[in-house]
């Protein structure tokens, strides 16, 4: 008998040790039992059989862990998380090295390796690889509302499951409505959201979100109640607006009246404050109608005093019946106080008028009294 590099020759035939698995991957729901198949062929007796199962966890690919070991006719456990849940499917020793994992957990997901040695038999392919995926149905999703519930607002309904392998998809629907959602609704089945635009009281109702994956479904319900405007609130708003408008109009009227009053008052004050004094070096005011009275030599005297009376001030004119010629004047002589009326139009009927309404004194000073209406 010739043994060379794991091959045996019997009557000219050579047979290697070979491991095989029936499937490349297995999926199982969490909590159920997973069977990981592994078989091998050998021509040697199984007295020196050595079987080791290892796992490369999906959560920690850099840290392989031992699952179970058969060696020297004994079975040894592996990592603590597998205690009491893992065993060989058949009675060892046998050419079936399949194992089972009870009550599978999400952490059991990973890549499993079946390593077989059976001295003196050696093989070129003594490792079998199989993947295990523990499926988790969606957990009960949490439903929520984002946005204002007032009429005319845009809101977003959200739905999310904390667990679920494979990742669940989400479907929103309104239970008491057909079609299930308004035509303007925008739904994202991956993110689990639906957007309702320009909501109204008709948008109120019971909404349901269904989260589903390959092995299960889960739902949540949401009671949406859109807030309608209160009639009293509408009336209050309208009344407030009307009151504000009335107050604004009244304020505008009061301001206008105040401006008119202030303007008229200011004009009267300006008229009363017009100066009535003519200095000796000033030019006389322009006259449209006047009565001039002077003594005989008043026109030639440089020391004459000129006193004017402004017709804007009514206190200087207390005779409402006076009707003076526009271009008349009366001259008084210093010698005999003889009145000499003059008029450009030739009339001599004009009477002298004094600012105080009195008569001339016996010996008046050289005084020129002018009554003028300023232009």
**Cα–Cα dist 184/123, whole Å:** 66
Per-residue pLDDT, 16:
75
The tokens describing 5, both together, are: 């590099």
- Which of 347, 354, 310 has its CA nearest to residue 327? 347
The CATH architecture of the domain made up of 2-135 is Sandwich (2.60)
The tokens describing 302, both together, are: 């440089």
**Cα–Cα dist 148/228, whole Å:** 12
Same fold, 2-135 and 142-224: yes
H and E: helices and strands count for the chain: 1, 26
The pTM (predicted TM-score) of the whole model is 0.54
**pLDDT greater than 70 at residue 62:** yes
**pLDDT greater than 90 at residue 235:** no
**pLDDT greater than 90 at residue 69:** yes
**Cα–Cα dist 50/219, whole Å:** 49
Characterise 110 by phi-psi region: left (phi > 0), alpha (psi -120 to 50), beta (else): left
Say how many Å lie between the first and final Cα of the chain, rounded. 154
Most confident of 5-19, 215-229, 302-316: 215-229
Per-residue pLDDT, 351:
52
**Cα–Cα dist 337/333, whole Å:** 5
pLDDT in tens, 204-233: 999 999 999 999 999 999 999 999 887 654
Phi and psi, residue 278, nearest 5°? -115, 115
**Cα–Cα dist 268/226, whole Å:** 66
Query: Going by C-beta distance under 8 Å and a sequence separation of 6 or more, which residues neighbour residue 116?
Result: 17, 19, 38, 40, 49, 50, 51, 97, 123, 126, 127, 128
Residue 10 β-bridge partners = 13
- Which of 344, 232, 342 has its CA nearest to residue 294? 342
The CATH architecture of the domain made up of 142-224 is Sandwich (2.60)
Q: Which residue has the tokens 């026109």?
A: 299
Residue with more model confidence, 98 or 6: 98
Per-residue pLDDT, 269:
66
pLDDT in tens, 314-334: 444 444 444 444 444 444 444
Q: What are the boundaries of each domain within the chain? A: 2-135, 142-224, 290-372
**pLDDT greater than 60 at residue 180:** yes
CA distances from 375 to 52, 268, 269, 291, 320 (A): 130, 18, 19, 16, 21
**Cα–Cα dist 127/51, whole Å:** 10
């Amino acid at each position: 008998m010739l043994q060379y590099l794991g091959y045996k020759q019997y009557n000219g035939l050579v047979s290697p040790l070979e491991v095989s698995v029936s499937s490349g991957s297995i999926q199982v729901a969490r909590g159920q039992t997973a069977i990981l198949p592994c078989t091998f062929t050998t021509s040697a007796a199984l007295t020196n059989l050595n079987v080791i199962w290892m796992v490369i966890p999906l959560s920690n690919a850099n840290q392989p862990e031992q699952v179970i070991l058969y060696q020297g006719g004994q079975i040894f456990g592996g990592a603590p998380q597998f205690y009491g849940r893992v065993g060989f499917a058949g009675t060892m020793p046998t050419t079936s090295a399949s194992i089972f994992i009870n009550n599978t957990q999400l952490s059991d997901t990973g890549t499993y390796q079946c390593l077989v040695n059976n001295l003196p038999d050696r093989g070129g392919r003594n490792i079998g690889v199989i993947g295990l995926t523990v499926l988790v149905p969606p957990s009960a999703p949490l439903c929520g509302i984002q946005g204002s519930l007032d009429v005319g607002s845009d809101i977003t309904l959200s739905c999310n499951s904390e667990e679920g392998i494979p990742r669940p998809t989400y479907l929103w629907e309104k239970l008491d409505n057909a079609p299930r959602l308004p035509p303007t609704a925008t739904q994202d089945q991956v993110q689990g959201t639906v957007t309702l635009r320009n909501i109204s009281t008709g948008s109120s109702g019971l909404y349901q979100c269904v989260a589903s994956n390959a092995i299960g479904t889960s739902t949540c319900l949401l009671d949406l109640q859109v807030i309608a405007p209160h009639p009293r609130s509408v009336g209050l708003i309208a009344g407030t607006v009307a009151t504000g408008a009335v107050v604004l109009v009244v304020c505008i009227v009061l301001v206008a009246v105040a401006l008119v009053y202030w303007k008229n008052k200011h004009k009267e004050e300006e008229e009363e404050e017009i100066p009535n004094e003519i200095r000796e070096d000033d030019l006389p005011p322009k006259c449209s109608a006047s009565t001039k009275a002077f003594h005989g030599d008043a026109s030639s005297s440089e020391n004459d005093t000129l006193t004017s009376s402004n017709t804007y001030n009514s206190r200087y004119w207390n005779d409402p019946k006076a009707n003076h010629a526009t271009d008349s004047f009366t001259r008084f002589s210093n010698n005999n106080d003889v009145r000499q009326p003059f008029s450009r139009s030739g009339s001599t009927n004009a009477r002298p008028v004094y600012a105080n309404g009195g008569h001339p004194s016996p010996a008046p000073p050289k005084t020129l009294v002018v009554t003028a209406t300023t232009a």
